[in-house]
């Protein structure tokens, strides 16, 4: 790049007292008004049209500061950008710094700390190592494909989550003014023309679920084990809840007299409060824990004021030689059992899982009326999983 030759100096700028425009070269000008006030401006041509952008008054903006800003604007124009988009823009961070800002900005929206940690892990060096030190404006389609292609077929579920998270972070960067143009991580009209659809891949990975026929024998082993992690997994199976909902349960949410557990909206994936009917085994488990409680957590951790770690259930399954299954998979075990072995309506089974079925009106109605039906189904489920014989329970009618 040729060295920029400047036409102005500090003495000339200070002495300027005639209304008009003085050029420094490279698009930088000093404008002197009729009232003798002085301001800097930058002029450039794009698509055959000339444009001008004010850069602030002199001497608040010095000659050296104006030259530095003009040099940056020239680089923007050379790259096909618009200097106007640079005004008020925050200094562009690296991708890893952008992720940290995104996570902090959305901190109150995470269902639990484990969910936030999963975002940080998947967008960190493990999968996105090659773009950690890149600027968001530098990330292109090739970078995204370099992350996704190696795992798209072998770790499809993980890959699709990473793609969605990349898209959101890069959208965040665009809103902050750090990048322009199309999002290289977008699926529709972009990656869907390059990568096979996840549903068509044979290796789509779901949470590994224990076959429900094996639950009675497994529960016998689980109930014989000591420790809070065993009790937490036991409650998870009885209630078909998510691990985060169980591990972060507080006594204030549980009404032992009415035998219901109300999980507040902020801890639910769908951000709606979920009322869980407590069957006899679940009630007895919670009653025994309540008699021994030491703080507000149903499953307190080793650190005072903290619940059990999000990894304790996975570690328990490994110790029981069931590490190929996941805690979340027990929700699938329940759903398979309800669909195969009962006559429970779909909306009742999905309601036990806190899934939405139908429109908003239907969901509002079900939340107020379906608890008896859900209690009947969960009671049958609890009877099945604790039954020594492993007999399948058929439900033909749901009152209520």
CATH of the domain at 108: 1.10.150.130
Pair (373, 231) in one structural domain: yes
* CATH label of the domain that carries residue 66: 3.30.160.390
**275 and 372 fall within a common domain:** yes
Task: Give 275's strand partners.
Answer: 262
Q: Angle of helix 312-319 relative to helix 228-239, nearest 10 degrees?
A: 100
Domain of residue 133 covers 95-200
Please say which residue of 63, 86, 109 terminates a domain. 86
How many other CB atoms are there within 10 angstroms of residue 242's CB atom? 25
pLDDT computed for residue 389 by the predictor: 43
- pLDDT averaged over 10-residue windows placed end to end, the chain, 400 residues: 76 91 93 88 88 86 90 90 73 89 82 76 92 92 95 88 95 85 92 90 64 92 94 96 93 94 87 90 95 91 87 91 89 92 89 75 53 92 77 46
Judgement on whether residues 185 and 322 belong to the same structural domain of the protein: no
Q: Are residues 260 and 346 in the same domain?
A: yes
Tell me if 393 is assigned to some domain: no
Among candidate residues 176, 200, 224, the one where a domain is terminated: 200
Rounded distance, CA 183 to CA 51, Å? 28
Residue 172 and residue 191 in one domain = yes
Q: Do both 309 and 228 map to the same domain?
A: yes
Q: Flag whether 398 is in a domain.
A: no
174 and 32 fall within a common domain: no
Domain harbouring 239, CATH code: 1.10.443.10
Per residue in 88-107, pLDDT (tens digit) is: 666 788 999 999 999 988 87
Residue 6: helix, strand or coil by DSSP?
coil
Same domain? 251 vs 301: yes
- 31: in domain: yes
Based on the fold, state whether residues 160 and 240 are members of the same structural domain: no
Q: Are residues 170 and 239 in the same domain?
A: no
From 22, 57, 86, the end of a domain falls on 86
Q: Is residue 395 in a domain?
A: no
CA angle 111, 113, 119 (to 5 degrees): 85
Q: Which residues contact 94 (CB under 8 A, 6 or more apart)?
A: 132, 133, 134, 135
Task: Find where tokens 């090739």 sit.
Answer: 142
Q: How many domains does the chain have?
A: 3
Residue 285, pLDDT score: 96
User: Is residue 400 one of the residues assigned to a domain?
Assistant: no
Helices (H) and strands (E) in the chain, counts: 16, 7
Prediction pTM value? 0.52
Same domain, 236 and 286: yes
Decide if 391 is inside a domain. Answer: no
Q: Is residue 373 part of a domain?
A: yes
Does the residue 120 lie in any domain? yes
Q: In this structure, what token pair is assigned to residue 20? A: 């008009």
Cβ atoms of 138 and 181 closer than 8 Å: no
Is the domain of 137 the same as that of 21?
A: no
């Amino acid at each position: 790049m040729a060295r920029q030759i400047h036409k102005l100096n500090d003495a000339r700028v200070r002495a300027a007292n005639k209304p008009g425009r003085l050029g420094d070269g490279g698009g930088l000008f000093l404008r002197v008004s009729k009232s003798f006030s002085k301001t800097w401006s930058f002029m450039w041509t794009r698509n055959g049209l000339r444009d001008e952008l004010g850069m602030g008054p002199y001497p608040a903006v010095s000659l050296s500061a104006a030259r530095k800003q003009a040099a940056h604007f020239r680089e923007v124009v050379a790259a096909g950008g618009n200097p106007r988009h640079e005004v008020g823009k925050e200094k562009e961070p690296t991708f890893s710094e952008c992720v940290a800002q995104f996570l902090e900005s959305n901190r109150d929206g995470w269902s639990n700390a484990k969910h936030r940690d999963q975002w940080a892990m998947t967008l960190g060096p493990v999968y996105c190592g090659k773009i950690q030190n890149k600027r968001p404006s530098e990330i292109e389609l090739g970078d995204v494909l370099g992350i996704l292609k190696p795992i798209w077929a072998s770790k499809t579920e993980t890959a699709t989550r990473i793609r969605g998270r990349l898209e959101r972070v890069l959208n965040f960067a665009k809103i902050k003014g750090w990048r322009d143009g199309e999002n290289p991580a977008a699926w529709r009209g972009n990656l869907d023309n390059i990568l096979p659809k996840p549903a068509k891949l044979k290796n789509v990975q779901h949470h590994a679920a224990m076959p429900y026929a094996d639950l009675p024998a497994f529960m016998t082993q689980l109930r014989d084990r000591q420790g809070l992690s065993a009790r937490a997994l036991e409650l998870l199976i009885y209630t078909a809840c998510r691990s985060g909902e169980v591990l972060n349960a507080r006594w204030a949410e549980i009404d032992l007299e009415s035998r219901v557990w109300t999980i507040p909206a902020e801890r639910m994936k769908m951000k709606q409060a979920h009322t869980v009917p407590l069957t006899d085994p679940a009630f007895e488990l919670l009653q025994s824990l309540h008699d021994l409680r030491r703080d507000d957590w149903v499953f307190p951790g080793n650190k005072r004021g903290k619940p059990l770690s999000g990894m304790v259930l996975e570690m328990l399954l490994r110790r029981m030689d069931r590490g190929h299954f996941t805690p979340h998979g027990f929700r699938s075990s329940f759903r398979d059992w309800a669909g195969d072995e009962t006559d429970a309506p779909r909306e009742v089974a999905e309601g036990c899982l806190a899934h939405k079925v139908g429109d908003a009106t239907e969901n509002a109605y079900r939340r107020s009326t379906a608890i008896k039906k859900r209690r009947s189904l969960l009671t049958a489920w609890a009877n099945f999983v604790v039954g020594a014989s492993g007999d399948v329970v058929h439900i033909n009618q749901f009152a209520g």
